[in-house]
């Protein structure tokens, strides 16, 4: 009972609307990642739904970095949907590839610029709190890189997203959003198995729909 109280006791003070929306986003996110694991383009429409819900919730929860992450996810989901289907040679389906040196350089630039931008967002809106805000800046940069690599259909995106998921688990438990924290636990597990599965798919299996 004490464990349940720790995990879910704070929800007594939450509105029914927020609880329902968090649960819907939770379920749709799992479906989206499942399709990603299966190397299916259906990852993107389900991802679009979950990100739109989380944009609204995260603004209410004052997690501005994660809010921006989900807004970015929405944009990259639209881009990735198109790129997976038409980004290959002769505008054919884009195969899975691995990261090259130039991709890592771009990833570092994305991470750095994103973290700085989120700091400015917190600072200018006077919503900078404690160490949580700074962790949020770091995870935002990580997730921006991971989603960009996913949209480009790079194998290593699983490793980057897995790192972001790992950091986010204690952050969300600390903030009291247990359903989202549990979601990140599941996403971390998916990231591990997704990486192993995509290694099998690598340049060998066509896109499934």
How does pLDDT run across 51-68, given as a tens digit for each residue?
999 899 888 877 777 788
The range of the structural domain enclosing residue 166 comes to 2-89+97-201
- Residue ranges in the chain assigned as alpha helix (H): 2-8, 16-37, 43-60, 64-86, 101-124, 131-151, 157-175, 178-201
Whether 135 maps to a domain, the answer reads yes
Q: Is residue 206 part of a domain?
A: no
- Of 11-20, 26-35, 64-73, 138-147, give the lowest mean pLDDT range: 11-20
pLDDT at 4: 58
Burial of residue 145 (CB within 10 Å: 0-12, 13-18, 19+) is buried
In a domain, 40, yes or no: yes
Beta partners for 208?
40
Residue 154, token pair as written in the block: 């790079």
pLDDT digits (tens, 9 = 90+) for 87-117: 766 666 778 899 999 999 999 999 999 999 9
**Distance from the Cα of residue 68 to its chain's centroid:** 11
Pair 191, 160: CB distance under 8 Å: no
Whether residue 73 is contained in a domain is answered as yes
Give the model's pLDDT for residue 2: 63
Residue 208, domain member (yes or no): no
- What is the band of 209 on the pLDDT scale with cuts at 50, 70, 90? very low
Q: Provide the number of structural domains found in the chain.
A: 1
- The per-residue pLDDT of the chain, averaged, comes to 85
The residue assigned the tokens 């002769």 is: 90
Q: Work out the angle at residue 117's Cα, subtended by the Cα atoms of residues 134 and 98, and round it to the nearest 5 degrees.
A: 90
């Amino acid at each position: 009972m004490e464990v349940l109280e720790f995990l879910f006791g704070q929800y007594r003070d939450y509105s029914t609307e927020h609880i329902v929306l968090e649960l819907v986003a939770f379920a749709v996110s799992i479906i989206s990642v499942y399709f990603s694991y299966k190397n299916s383009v259906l990852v993107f429409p389900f991802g679009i739904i979950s990100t739109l819900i989380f944009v609204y919730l995260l603004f209410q929860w004052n997690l501005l970095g994660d809010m921006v992450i989900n807004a970015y996810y929405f944009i990259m989901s639209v881009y990735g949907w198109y790129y997976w289907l038409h980004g290959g040679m002769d505008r054919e389906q884009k195969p899975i590839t691995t990261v090259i040196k130039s991709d890592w350089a771009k990833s570092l630039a994305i991470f750095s610029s994103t973290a700085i931008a989120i700091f400015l967002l917190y600072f200018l809106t006077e919503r900078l709190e404690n160490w949580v805000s700074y962790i949020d800046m770091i995870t935002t940069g990580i997730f921006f890189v991971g989603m960009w690599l996913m949209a480009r259909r790079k194998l290593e995106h699983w490793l980057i997203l897995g790192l972001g998921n790992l950091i986010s688990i204690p952050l969300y438990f600390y903030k009291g959003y247990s359903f989202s924290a549990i979601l990140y636990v599941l996403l971390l597990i998916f990231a591990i198995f997704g990486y192993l599965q995509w290694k099998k798919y690598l340049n060998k299996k066509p896109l499934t729909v």
